[in-house]
Copies of this chain bind each other. A is one copy, B any other.
Amino acid sequence: MARKTEAKRVILEYIRKSEKAVSPAEIHHSHKELCDRVTVYRVLDRLVNEHKIHRIVNTDGVANYAACHSCSTMHQHDHLHFSCERCKSVTCLENDRVEFSVPNNYEVKEVFFTLSGLCPDCLNKS
Contacts and interface: CB of A to CB of B under 8 A. Distances in A.
Interface of A: 57-63, 80, 82-83, 85, 93, 96-103, 105-120, 123
A103 B80 contact: yes
Please classify the interface of chain A as helix (H, G, I), strand (E, B), loop, or mixed, using the class held by over half of its residues. Answer: strand
The 8 A-B residue pairs whose C-beta atoms are closest, nearest first, are A61-B61, A109-B117, A105-B120, A99-B99, A107-B118, A112-B114, A108-B117, A107-B117
A111 to B, nearest CB: 5
Contacts of A115: 100, 102-103, 106, 108, 110-112
A123 to B, nearest CB: 6
A116 B114 CA distance: 14
